Amino acid sequence: MNHDGPQPTYEIVDELSRFDERDTVFSRERLEPGSPQEQAYHSLHPELVEIDRRIATFIRQVGQPGDGITQEDAALFNATFDPIAGLALPDVVDGEVAPTQVQADPARMSARIKALARYLGADDVRIGPLNPAWVYSHRGTPPFFAGYQPNPPHYSGLPKTYRDLQWGDPIEIPHRYAIAMAFAQDLNLIRTGGTPFSDLEIGRVYAFSALVATQIATYIRSLGWPARAHHMRNYGVLVVPVAVDAGLGELGRCGYLIHPRLGANLRLVCVTTDLPLQLDPPVDLGIQDFCNKCLKCAHNCPSGAIPKGDKVVVRGVRKWQIDPVKCLLYWGHLRSACAICQSICPWSKPLTWPHRLVAQIAMHVPPARRFLIWADDVVYGARFKPAPPPAWSRQDQIQI
């Protein structure tokens, strides 16, 4: 790391190696059978052909009508997810830098960027170093491909202005800093658990956070410094370890960042830049010990994707590793993203003072953790129970 103070709580046990975005399940599910990309990928990974075709078949049912999902339900998914592609164009996430450069004290500039991000809607924002190991090695999911599976379903061609990397191109992001931002999801909607309403909320926060990331990146480029936004339709970096390095929280057993106030119920975006900024330290909230004792997400995961056992070493880091294939196949079965792990986590609670007090005890009084885990089961139940859909969705006629 770039600083001598506190260190992140993940454990580096070997040389870090960069992740190839082509290996993500979200890239693999877009591989059209017979396309040059699919043939290139599966000639290197013949063992994945069958499972990738299953993923592709299943995941494309998410947000689509059928099996109890009506066209009205599917429209909720499309309403929030589809427009995000417009924020993913290469000259929206990145772009022209102003010819004159504003010079400012890094501490002052950091305070200004944070205040702006909060004003625009971020629930938390911190600044860390950009570890080059967290930059994807190769492009796997650009928002548009000529003659290739685009972001379904409304964008079916290549915009004239498209200049982004193609599948398989190396990714280089030389920036020194990363501004990591967390956005809370509405817990009541997420607790509906794998329904069009949890999808609606997930898409709303993805879209809103993507907009704020592009706004912050545009602001910095207008100050004369390079900056690139990273959001769900155009990532160049792994946002979870970037956010951990910036001190937004810790990596939990469920694979999400656990934030001290928002728990796992959040979405992350970041902006990488060379604008000189003051770094925030990573944090130790006691999450590693808490997750060791808790396992609530693993016991409630319907697909068995969350490990109940020990951490494993992945590309040089010892951590809990979820099985993304199991998770995605379950989403396809539901036709919705599940998010049970995000809502069931004891850290995902409304921002009331009693919950904040309990979180403080969990962070600072390690012997209390087992009791708090037990108390969470007693008060909220050990098993996931879906919340009802929102009242507005139950109106059976539109009143003017």
Residues near ligand SF4 (CB under 6 A) are 252-254, 258, 264, 290-291, 294-297, 301-303, 305-306, 322, 327, 330, 338-341, 344-347
Half-sphere exposure of 323 (CA within 13 A, CB side): 16
Nearer to ligand SF4 among residue 129 and residue 332 (C-beta):
332
The residues with which 26 forms a beta bridge, in sequence order, are none
Walk across the sheet containing 177-184 and list its strands: 124-129, 177-184, 266-273, 227-230
Identify the helix (H) or strand (E) that includes residue 314: strand 312-314
- Please count the helices (runs of H) and the strands (runs of E) in the chain: 15, 9
Min dist. Cβ of residue 142 to ligand SF4 (A): 25
Min dist. Cβ of residue 252 to ligand SF4 (A): 3
Is the bond preceding residue 170 a cis peptide, omega within 30 degrees?
no
Min dist. Cβ of residue 343 to ligand SF4 (A): 9
Min dist. Cβ of residue 385 to ligand SF4 (A): 14
Min dist. Cβ of residue 277 to ligand SF4 (A): 30
Nearer to ligand SF4 among residue 122 and residue 264 (C-beta):
264
Nearer to ligand SF4 among residue 69 and residue 297 (C-beta):
297
Min dist. Cβ of residue 54 to ligand SF4 (A): 15
Half-sphere exposure of 65 (CA within 13 A, CB side): 5
Identify the helix (H) or strand (E) that includes residue 179: strand 177-184
SS3 29: coil
Nearer to ligand SF4 among residue 88 and residue 305 (C-beta):
305
Nearer to ligand SF4 among residue 98 and residue 361 (C-beta):
361
Nearer to ligand SF4 among residue 177 and residue 330 (C-beta):
330
> Which position has the token pair 């504003």?
102
SS3 111: helix
Nearer to ligand SF4 among residue 165 and residue 295 (C-beta):
295
Nearer to ligand SF4 among residue 102 and residue 357 (C-beta):
357
Min dist. Cβ of residue 91 to ligand SF4 (A): 33
DSSP state of 69: B
DSSP state of 386: P
* 154 backbone φψ class: left, alpha, beta (φ>0; ψ -120 to 50): alpha
Min dist. Cβ of residue 366 to ligand SF4 (A): 14
Give how far Cα 169 sits from Cα of 132, 256, 346, Å: 17, 27, 41
